[in-house]
Structure 1
């Protein structure tokens, strides 16, 4: 499963890069560098998904970067995708 992350670029060396996963409500993280933000995003997504799976919830279908870029809330943000292996997150998948 590929998830899109939106990364708010820090405008100086004193601020971290924050990131959100638009289709996963409340899933966010940060990092001192973009690379660190992406690694932290993957961990946040895995935790979010694992909780939803274990609770029997529904996982939203991932949307494309282009779809998210149309959201005015994310103008000027950087975009990346991370791949998550759902079968490795919970014994309830697969």
Structure 2
């Protein structure tokens, strides 16, 4: 199963917890709590992958945390925020049907 690295931005109890994915531009998840945001994240990944498949595009390769740390902008966010590995459903990673 493929897992995408998620960057978790938690600004405190008065704000929603936001999650974004360096390998999936424009894919975001959120929730009122960390648990809720993490629970919503797999669905966000799945929907994002379904959208690009419908456009005929292939799913981006998921990079490991170590590979992402080699990218200075992402490394800075990884040092500032928590990260998690979010599973992508295998069905969403299949090429679009013609």
Instruction: Give TM class, smaller chain.
Output: 0.7 to 0.9
2:26 match: 26
**Matched pairs, number:** 92
| Structure 1: tracts of 5 or more residues without a match | none
Q: How does 1:49-88 map to 2 (within 5 A)?
A: 49-70=49-70, 71-74=74-77, 75-87=79-91
Any runs of at least 4 consecutive aligned residues in structure 1 with deviations exceeding 4 A, and if so which?
88-91
Question: TM-score when scaled to structure 1?
Answer: 0.81
Residue 68 of structure 1, CA deviation: 2.7
Question: TM-score when scaled to structure 2?
Answer: 0.78
Kept after mapping to 2: 8 A contact 1:54/1:90: no
The structure with more helix, counted as a fraction of residues? 2
